[in-house]
A and B are shown apart, each in its own frame.
Chain A
Amino acid sequence: AQKITQTQPGMFVQEKEAVTLDCTYDTSDQSYGLFWYKQPSSGEMIFLIYQGSYDEQNATEGRYSLNFQKARKSANLVISASQLGDSAMYFCAMREASGGSYIPTFGRGTSLIVHP
């Protein structure tokens, strides 16, 4: 079974509107971290935001927020007031504490295109 699932291969949004990118995860651990990365067409992987499994508040970082629903095992990324520069691939990742290795697992990504 996949540990990280991003079901939306592609998303389109109008500039200045909000968009939600979905991420569901699978783990039996109590302690884990969830991360989102942005990969623009230039290719670099840019860290955006993270959420710890014990955090009760949803993480926010500027226009990015993480809608964390623990019972549903979802960690959706919300981008408010989309900008043209937000067009990119977005990857969800998880780090688990089991086994002591903390190796992150990445989803296959969602391509976001922001229209003017």
Chain B
Amino acid sequence: DAGVIQSPRHEVTEMGQEVTLRCKPISGHDYLFWYRQTMMRGLELLIYFNNNVPIDDSGMPEDRFSAKMPNASFSTLKIQPSEPRDSAVYFCASSFDGRVLDTQYFGPGTRLTVL
């Protein structure tokens, strides 16, 4: 079975540009999570969805960040406008039913560099 798929794997952009990160969760998984990883802050949860509905977006840094999940097999994380401090690795993860012993499976990540 295919794992979580993310694209692009690397993104280099200039400050002020719009960036869109994409994720395809594992088929049959009802939960989708977006994380950001930096050296300073470690792994931070940005937002998560259950059955395509955003449940908790309290981790989204500010209004420049938005996330959508139009269907069960696709989600986007958009940054507009991007800033150098947004440079990080962004992970998408999915899990089956979100319960205590439910394992999250991560995508390969998108390494974003904002110049």
Contacts and interface: CB of A to CB of B under 8 A. Distances in A.
Interface string B89-113: 1010100001111111111110100
Contact of A95 (B56, B89, B102, B106): B102
Interface string A31-56: 11101010000011111001011000
A52 B108 contact: no
A17 B89 CA distance: 32
Chain A interface residue bracket vs B: 20 to 34
Contacts of A97: 99-100
Chain B interface residue bracket vs A: 20 to 34
A40 B102 CA distance: 23
A106 B42 CA distance: 8
Contact of B98 (A43, A50, A52, A102): A102
Contact of B109 (A31, A32, A33, A44): A44
B101 A50 contact: yes
Contact of B100 (A37, A96, A106, A107): A96
A91 interface: yes
Contact of B103 (A32, A47, A53, A96): A47
Given A91-B43, A103-B45, A43 B103 contact: no
A40 to B, nearest CB: 11
Q: Which 4 A-B pairs have the closest CB atoms?
A: A45-B106, A33-B101, A106-B43, A33-B100
Interface of B: 42-43, 45, 48, 55-56, 89, 91, 93, 98-109, 111
